[in-house]
Amino acid sequence: MSDIPMSNGDDTQVSGRKLAGLAKSVARHRVVAVLAFLFVFPLIIPYEALAVNILIFGLFAMGFNMVFGYMGVLSFGHAAFFGIGSYATGIAMVHFGIPWLPAIIIGVVAAGVIAMIMGGMAIRSRGIYFAMVTLALAQCVYYLVYQMSDWSGGEDGLTGVGAGDINLGFVQFSLFDPTAKYYFMFVFVAIAIFFFSRILNSPFGAVLEAIRENENRAQACGYNVLLTKWYAFVISGLFCGLAGALNALHLSVVPIESLHYHLSGQAVMMSLLGGMGTFFGPFVGAMAFLLLEDIITTMTTHWPLFLGIIFIIFVLFFPKGIWGSVLHWVKR
Amino acid sequence: MQTNEIMRAENVTMRFGGFTALNDVSVSFPVGQLTAIIGPNGAGKSTLFNVLSGAFPPSEGRIIFEGTDITGTPQHAFAHKGIAKSFQITNVFPELSALENVRIAIQAMESQFDIWTPRNKLKEMVERANELLELVGLNKHRERLASNLAHGEQRALEIALALACNPRLLLLDEPTAGMSPEETVVMMDLITHLASERTVILVEHKMKLVMGISNHLIVLHHGEFLAEGTPDEIRTNDEVRRVYLGQGDH
């Protein structure tokens, strides 16, 4: 009814509408949009190592966001999936001489197995208890790996993971070339993003939203909420495991910090910073977090202080996060 | 014992700590009828409702549905058996549209763990959701967020959610709680209409409200069975009158 465009153009109105239109088509073709952006991303970022970091941690935060943003369950143990993905990939390559591709798959599967176990133990608890149980279990994994120093390198981390030259038959490149490394990672992240979007857009994705909105009602409607939560936890763990596996190849080492709860906290911060429960949010959050860290640490050693302040500002004034606020503003 | 019953509670006792909310209650619900469970505050109506609808298993006793013992069946299995409920406190998916609310309730019967089919392929569910919204009078509001609906509309939406599993037995816990007189009339009409097609069990505090629409009444008092019968029998039952008179005229 009111959709008829005004004939003598009100400029702000028109540009506002164009922007809203743009945002809508971005939302509709979210996979294409995010991939297009990440494809040109290295051109606008100061150096590629940071771009690769953003790619990997964006993927990590995205996987985390399935449970946190879409299903509304706060986990404080996602470092375990990232770290186990890293270590399993690294151990497969260093100790067993397994090539990089099967090693990545081993990393993802190992993270999935850990998620099955942790999920099975934690999923019955709710709210803050769930956060605490996952935190405790993840710390158990941390100390377990820390103690197995013959396999994991203990405190020094696992060194010598480098894949070096990669030969795909039709193309050959070295992971020491930063641009090649970025696009190598990009392929994996792109595949992950496609699957992620597909899952969110499925009937299963709708159930996650239903559980976030009202767990009791979802149950009364006939959904097996516990089982759904467990599945989501495991799927989320697979994505985070892939991020970890890629990080092992990126750094050529697996630092023990990959399993530390700091990393679980970072996933929460990145999600909140970018916008929980939005598709782009985790990538925007990872970008904001890592860029700020990069810039601020060159000026001062007190980065955590600034991070704290930024975090408080966001929680108080922009609870929807950067991307969430943009979406909200555009919809208005 | 009636053979044409849909549900039966056998010697149901429910204790919360030291407090006995229900004491050895045995009642039977005839199929195809609208049965109302009434009683003054603290009579144990909501407890009985929760036991019947599977929110928690009884401390003692059994629940029989269509001849099978369903005591202790997990909550999510009830909808699949054909038992649906609406809650006393409005219970919808607040930040989803009215249409998506109902669609998701319909989906529960068909697909829980499908991680691949795109949602826009689920056209049949959307069609059925639209039909249900029309039935409860919300077809004009299908795109609105549930949280933006008026209280009466949210209650109607909840009925639509309950109907999504195509229940043979519909359990309603004080469906008119907090409603304006106008909304109450609309809701009562809707319930009468629904009861013409399936068995309905209704918990209600206001006795007058259910007298006109129910076929069968069960009266609880202090967690115990007090009386049952047709509205006329209940109206003239001395004990029921005594219990309700003590509470003022409802």
What pLDDT is attached to residue A140? 97
pLDDT above 90 covers a percentage of chain A that reads 75
pLDDT-based confidence at A171, cuts 50/70/90? Answer: confident
Find the mean pLDDT for residues A40-60. Answer: 91
CB contact under 8 A, A222 and B108: yes
CB contact under 8 A, B107 and A207: yes
Alpha-carbon span A76 to A178, nearest angstrom: 32
Q: Which residues of B touch A223 (CB under 8 A)?
A: 76, 108, 112
Nearest CA in chain A to B81: A222
Any domain includes A147: yes
Q: Which residues of A touch B109 (CB under 8 A)?
A: 222
What is the three-class DSSP state of B22? strand
Best residue in B56, B78, B90, B107 for a mutation probing chain A (most A CBs within 10 Å): B107
CB B153 within 8 A of CB B190: no
Q: Which residues of A touch B79 (CB under 8 A)?
A: 220-222
Q: Tell me whether B91 touches chain A (CB under 8 Å).
A: yes
Q: Tell me whether B117 touches chain A (CB under 8 Å).
A: yes
- 30-49 of B, contacting A, C-beta below 8 A: none
Alpha-carbon span B136 to B129, nearest angstrom: 11
Q: Tell me whether B112 touches chain A (CB under 8 Å).
A: yes
Across chain A, what does the average pLDDT equal?
Answer: 90
pLDDT of residue A264 exceeding 80, the answer is yes
pLDDT of residue A239 exceeding 90, the answer is yes
Alpha-carbon span A76 to B165, nearest angstrom: 36
Neighbours of A317 (CB within 10 A): 8
Alpha-carbon span B25 to A283, nearest angstrom: 58
Q: Which H helix or E strand runs over B27? A: strand B19-30
Nearest CA in chain A to B50: A220
pLDDT of residue A168 exceeding 90, the answer is no
Which segments of chain B have a pLDDT < 50? Answer: 1-2, 249-250
Q: Which two tokens stand for residue B240?
A: 């029921």
Alpha-carbon span B57 to B38, nearest angstrom: 21
Best residue in B73, B75, B76 for a mutation probing chain A (most A CBs within 10 Å): B76
Any domain includes A10: no
What residue numbers bound the domain in which A80 lies?
Answer: 17-331
Alpha-carbon span A241 to A237, nearest angstrom: 6
CB contact under 8 A, B100 and A225: no
CB contact under 8 A, B107 and A206: yes
What pLDDT is attached to residue A1? 35
pLDDT tens for A115-148 read: 999 999 999 999 999 999 999 999 999 999 999 9
**Is the interface score ipTM higher than 0.95?**
no
* Alpha helices for chain A (secondary structure H): 11-28, 30-44, 48-65, 79-96, 100-122, 127-147, 149-152, 178-200, 203-213, 215-221, 225-251, 261-274, 281-299, 303-317, 321-331
CB contact under 8 A, B109 and A222: yes
Most distant CA pair in chain B: distance in Å? Answer: 62
- Nearest Cα residue to A204 out of B128, B122, B83, B160: B122
Q: Which residues of A touch B108 (CB under 8 A)?
A: 218, 221-223
CA A309 → CA A296, A305, A316, B118, B161, distances in Å?
A: 13, 6, 11, 41, 44
- Nearest Cα residue to A155 out of A307, A27, A260, A28: A260
Q: Which residues of A touch B119 (CB under 8 A)?
A: 201-203, 205-206
**C-alpha torsion A52→A54→A55→A56, nearest 10:** 90
Alpha-carbon span B23 to B221, nearest angstrom: 10
Q: Which two tokens stand for residue A100?
A: 């990089």
pLDDT above 70 covers a percentage of chain A that reads 93
What pLDDT is attached to residue A101? 95
How far is B25 from chain A, CA to nearest CA, in Å?
24
Q: Tell me whether B206 touches chain A (CB under 8 Å).
A: no
Q: Which residues of B touch A201 (CB under 8 A)?
A: 118-119
CATH number of the domain residue A313 falls in? 1.10.3470
Contacts of B108 (CB under 8 A, 6+ apart): A218, A221, A222, A223, B79, B164, B165
CB contact under 8 A, A221 and B118: no
Best residue in B109, B112, B122 for a mutation probing chain A (most A CBs within 10 Å): B112
Neighbours of B40 (CB within 10 A): 18
pLDDT-based confidence at A6, cuts 50/70/90? Answer: very low
What pLDDT is attached to residue B41? 84
Any domain includes A12: no
Of all residues in chain B, what percent are helix, strand and coil, respectively (each to 5)?
35, 25, 35
Any domain includes A31: yes
Nearest CA in chain A to B102: A221
Radius of gyration for chain A, computed over Cα atoms and rounded to the nearest angstrom: 21
What pLDDT is attached to residue A77? 96
Any domain includes A173: yes
CB contact under 8 A, B108 and A221: yes
What pLDDT is attached to residue A14? 54
pLDDT of residue A331 exceeding 60, the answer is yes
Any domain includes A183: yes
Find the mean pLDDT for residues A311-324. Answer: 91
Number of structural domains, chain A? 1
Q: Tell me whether B148 touches chain A (CB under 8 Å).
A: no
Best residue in B53, B96, B103, B104 for a mutation probing chain A (most A CBs within 10 Å): B104
Find the mean pLDDT for residues A298-309. Answer: 90
Q: Tell me whether B14 touches chain A (CB under 8 Å).
A: no
pLDDT of residue A320 exceeding 80, the answer is yes
B200 - beta bridge partners? B34, B170
Q: Which two tokens stand for residue B67?
A: 């001849």
Nearest CA in chain A to B78: A222
How far is B163 from chain A, CA to nearest CA, in Å?
9
DSSP B57-68: --SEEEEEETTE
CB contact under 8 A, A220 and B114: no
CB contact under 8 A, A203 and B114: yes
* Phi, psi (degrees; rounded to nearest 5) at A57: -75, -25
- pTM score, whole prediction: 0.90
Q: Give the side-chain half-sphere CA count within 13 A for B104.
A: 32
pLDDT of residue A191 exceeding 70, the answer is yes
Alpha-carbon span B44 to A189, nearest angstrom: 56
CB A139 within 8 A of CB A261: yes
- Nearest Cα residue to A241 out of A131, A116, A80, A92: A80
pLDDT of residue A62 exceeding 70, the answer is yes
Any domain includes A132: yes
Written as one letter, the residue type at A66 is: M
Nearest CA in chain A to B117: A202
Nearest to A198 among B93, B104, B116 (CB): B116
pLDDT of residue A253 exceeding 80, the answer is yes
Nearest to B113 among A214, A221, A231 (CB): A231
Q: B97, exposed or middle or buried, with CB in 10 Å at 0-12, 13-18, 19+? A: middle
CA A210 → CA A52, A182, B9, B114, B196, distances in Å?
A: 34, 37, 31, 15, 30
How many A/B residue pairs have CB atoms within 8 Å? 100
Nearest CA in chain B to A230: B113
CB B226 within 8 A of CB B20: no
Contacts of A72 (CB under 8 A, 6+ apart): A211, A212, A213
pLDDT-based confidence at A203, cuts 50/70/90? Answer: very high
pLDDT of residue A163 exceeding 90, the answer is no
Residue linked to tokens 């009636």: B2
pLDDT of residue A8 exceeding 70, the answer is no
What pLDDT is attached to residue A4? 37
CB contact under 8 A, A213 and B114: no
Any domain includes A1: no
CA B116 → CA A15, A108, B109, B119, B121, distances in Å?
A: 37, 20, 17, 9, 11
Alpha-carbon span B157 to B94, nearest angstrom: 11
- Which has more pLDDT, A45 or B193? B193
